[in-house]
Structure formats: structure tokens, C-alpha cells
Amino acid sequence: MGIKVAKFGGSSLGGVEQFQKVRAIIEADEERRYIVPSAPGKRHPGDHKITDLLYLCQEHAQKGIPFSEIFELISTRYLELSKGLGLSLDLVPILEDIREKILGGYSAEYTASRGEYLNGLIMAELLGYEFVDPADIIFFTQTGVYDPEETKKMVAQTLANVERAVIPGFYGSRPDGGIQTFSRGGSDITGAIIAQGIGADLYENWTDVSGFMVADPKIVNNPKPIAEITYKELRELAYMGARVLHEEAVFPVREAKIPINIKNTNEPEAKGTLIVPNGEDIHETGMITGIAGKKGFTIISIEKAMMNTELGFGRRLLSIIESKGISFEHMPSGIDSISLVIPDNQLDKKLEDIVEEIKEQLKPDTVDVHAGLALIATVGHGMARTPGISAKLFTALGKENINVRMIAQGSGELNIIIGVETEDFERSIQAIYYAFID
């Protein structure tokens, strides 16, 4: 029998009905042996995520403001879940202990982690699986940096003797015993860590969408789903704003060459998207895998005659932005020109100083600043083996009278990144999509 790790997101575990769906999914496949739950998400648009409420309790406690009403919302949610699922689990003393610890000054990490902890207790009771506290098997350093080696060793050692287990997501522990959390959405990472540690055959990530789409459905009407995608392609799309899976969740399973299947709890029969280690044979020639992008960039363009012969020009330019605590996204260049593409949120009132320093230290012929830029990445393994991909893309944009202000393509030819005016962002994605997808 193979081993599957199944992580279920907050939208999959919002209420009694969702829990029942999840139980049916798990029981439908004996290979789903290790389950990683998130904290309960919203049940409807006006609802609250449990993690948000827990953070609010923590903030109130720190400021000496009563938080009984907020904690009552949390308690009621869990007690209703337990009752609605017909469990004999007594959560009252556990909830009271958590409330006392928040009141007593326990950390924000401890407080936030209780959402997953409580959901894990409920899920373990519902399934009849063993409950394993991630604080006992997932480790961080005292400064909060994830410790992969110790974790991998302990996960393998502990779960080798546990046939079926529920391991809450999102947190682990530091050497002093304190709780440490991953960033928000970190249950994805926990699932990947467990999959790596036990050598799973597949890591299933259950959410409220049936995998990745070729483009954002808010921009392209009813885009095609992506059946299969490589880790490298996923990294490119996630970096450019495509969000279904926490970015850091890719690394543990990628290292172990374990595929990830993004699945929909509400449509369990849908195949979803399979994320695989290698992709040389999975795409038809000429096909793209996906299109993603984000807004909010500024280009600083520097021109200087004979720039290419001036030793250290690029280093000095990058030293200027480094001294301001700024990192750049792209650096397209020509013989006598070089441009920096920088996120607007990095500049934050530093732009004028940067331009002045460039003029003073590098003595360029011109420095031009262009704000209001959006970046769009067209990604796909099939692109590298197919002549005319770039021509097809730029022809599609030209037909829509869209001006391309920047072009960047890596030597691996996995993607083509363009910069367009912010007002052309949605039209550009639509034009590219319809040029490549029938």
C-alpha cells in the first residue's frame, strides 16, 4: 500500500458539513494515512477565520483589554463542531487552559497555533487516528529558523510506528519548548514536511479550487485548468502572483521528488493539478503552462555612452540600491543602458535619493524613471523547444495596441516576462491567453 499525506485547508474545515466531506474523502482511499488540518476558515462571507480571532485575542491581552467575547466566538465554534459531528471529545477544559495561557502572557505564536491544534484534536477523534502534536516533531532554532535536519529525523522516527495520524499544520517548537509558527498559510509547509519525512508517494493539498488555472479567472473568463505542472514552472508562476499553494511548501517535497496533487474538497472527483519534479515530456510542443502577473513596479533606466567598458558600473549601481535596503526584480540591459525594475513598496519615499546618488556616483548621460508598471510572466517548458513563441506573444499584444516597456527572458527559456503599463495589465493577460489557448 502506498502512502499519501493529505492536507486540508481552512475552507475545507469551516463547519460540520465540510468536516463530513473531508472524512468521506479520507475514508475513500486507504492510502490517505497522514492528515494535516488547518484551522477553521470562513463558512460564509461575513464569517471570521479562527486564526484571525485568535490573533485578536492576543492583541487584546497584550493591551490589557478584555477578550472574553472574542474567545467565546472561538469556543462556540469548536464546541458546535464537536457536537455536530457527534464526538465525545471534551474540549471545555482544553479551551479554558488556552484562554488562561493567553491571559497569562503566552506568545502570539502559541495563541495562533491553537486553531490548528484544536482542529487536529477534532479530526483525530472523528477519524479514529492518532493525534501527533507537531511541537514534538517539527523544530525551529531559538531564533525562529526552521531546522530541516532535526525535523526530518524526528518525523521519520515518530511516524514509523504510527499507522495513521493527524498532525496539525502551521507550527512546531523551539529548543526552549516555546511554540513557533510558519508564516500564514503555513499548514501547506507542514504537509510537505510530513510527506518528505515519511517518504510519501503523494502529497495531496485539498482546498476550495480544483487546482491551478492557466490564467487568473478574475481576468480570463473560465480559463483552462492546468493538468500537470513542474516545480520550476510553479515557482515562476507563484513568484508572479499565482496563489494556490504556499511557496515554501514546494521545497521539502521537491527535494524528495514527491509529486503534489492540488485537489478540491467540494469536487473530490476532479483531477486537480499534479505538480511533478520533471517536465520534459509532459507538455506538447508550443504549449504554455500558465500566465501570471502583478502590478506595482517602477523602472529606473540609466544611459551612458561606453557603459560596457566602464569597469564596475553595474556593481556600483547595485551598491546604491543595496545601501537603501532595496532589492530589484529584473535588470534588463543594453550596450549603453541598464534598467532596474523595482517593486513600488520597496521604494517607499527613497526614489529621489536613489536617483540623486546615481547621478552623483555614476555620472550617467540620462536617468529616467517610469512608474505604473505591471509585470506578466508567460511560463512553459514547451516554449524552449518551439520557434516563434515570442513572435506569437508580441503579435498578440501588438494587435491589441499594447506597448511593451520591458522584456526579460532567462537562458533556460522557461518563461518570458514583459512589462506593460498598469492600465494594460488585464488586456495583456487576455491577449496572451487567447493567442495560445483555443
pLDDT given at position 351: 94
Residue 64 counted as domain residue: yes
CATH number, domain with residue 138: 3.40.1160.10
Are 241 and 298 found together in one domain?
A: no
Residue 285 counted as domain residue: no
Are 301 and 229 found together in one domain?
A: no
Number of alpha helices (DSSP H) and beta strands (DSSP E) in the chain = 14, 15
Measured distance CA(134)–CA(157) in Å, rounded: 13
Residue 191 counted as domain residue: yes
Are 262 and 147 found together in one domain?
A: yes
Are 78 and 107 found together in one domain?
A: yes
Are 109 and 233 found together in one domain?
A: yes
Percent of the chain surpassing pLDDT 70: 96
Residue 285 has pLDDT above 60, yes or no: no
The single-letter DSSP state of residue 333 is: B
Are 304 and 228 found together in one domain?
A: no
Residue 282 counted as domain residue: no
Are 81 and 173 found together in one domain?
A: yes
Are 127 and 186 found together in one domain?
A: yes
* Per-residue model confidence as pLDDT tens digits over 228-271: 998 888 888 877 877 767 767 788 998 899 999 999 999 999 99
Q: Which of 232, 250, 276 is the C-terminal boundary of a domain?
A: 276
Using CA of residue 170, residue 161, residue 275, residue 256, what is the dihedral sign?
A: positive
Give the H or E element holding residue 351.
Answer: helix 351-362
What are the E-state strand segments in 198-344?
202-207, 228-230, 260-264, 273-276, 290-303, 337-343
Q: Roughly how many angstroms between the first and final C-alpha of the chain, as a whole number?
A: 40
Are 191 and 300 found together in one domain?
A: no
The residues pairing with 35 across neighbouring beta strands, listed in sequence order, are 6, 166
Residue 82 counted as domain residue: yes
Give the number of other CB atoms < 10 A from CB of residue 45.
Answer: 5
The residue segments making up the domain with residue 318 are 290-436
Are 242 and 381 found together in one domain?
A: no
Are 243 and 329 found together in one domain?
A: no
Residue 283 counted as domain residue: no
The domain total for the chain is 2
pLDDT given at position 180: 97
Question: In the predicted model, what is the mean pLDDT of the chain?
Answer: 92
Residue 281 counted as domain residue: no
* Per-residue model confidence as pLDDT tens digits over 46-74: 999 999 999 999 999 999 999 999 999 99
- Helices (H), ranges, 182-225: 187-198
Residue with cell 513596479: 297
- Helices (H), ranges, 104-175: 108-127, 148-159
Predicted TM-score (pTM) of the model is 0.85
Q: Find the range with the poorest average confidence among 132-146, 172-186, 187-201, 271-285.
A: 271-285
* Per-residue model confidence as pLDDT tens digits over 98-109: 999 999 999 999
What amino acid occupies position 176?
D
Q: Which of 276, 302, 337 is the C-terminal boundary of a domain?
A: 276
**Beta strands 179-181 and 171-173, pairing class:** antiparallel
CATH number, domain with residue 318: 3.30.2130.10
Residue 163 or residue 285, greater confidence: 163
Are 191 and 272 found together in one domain?
A: yes
Q: Which of 244, 276, 308 is the C-terminal boundary of a domain?
A: 276
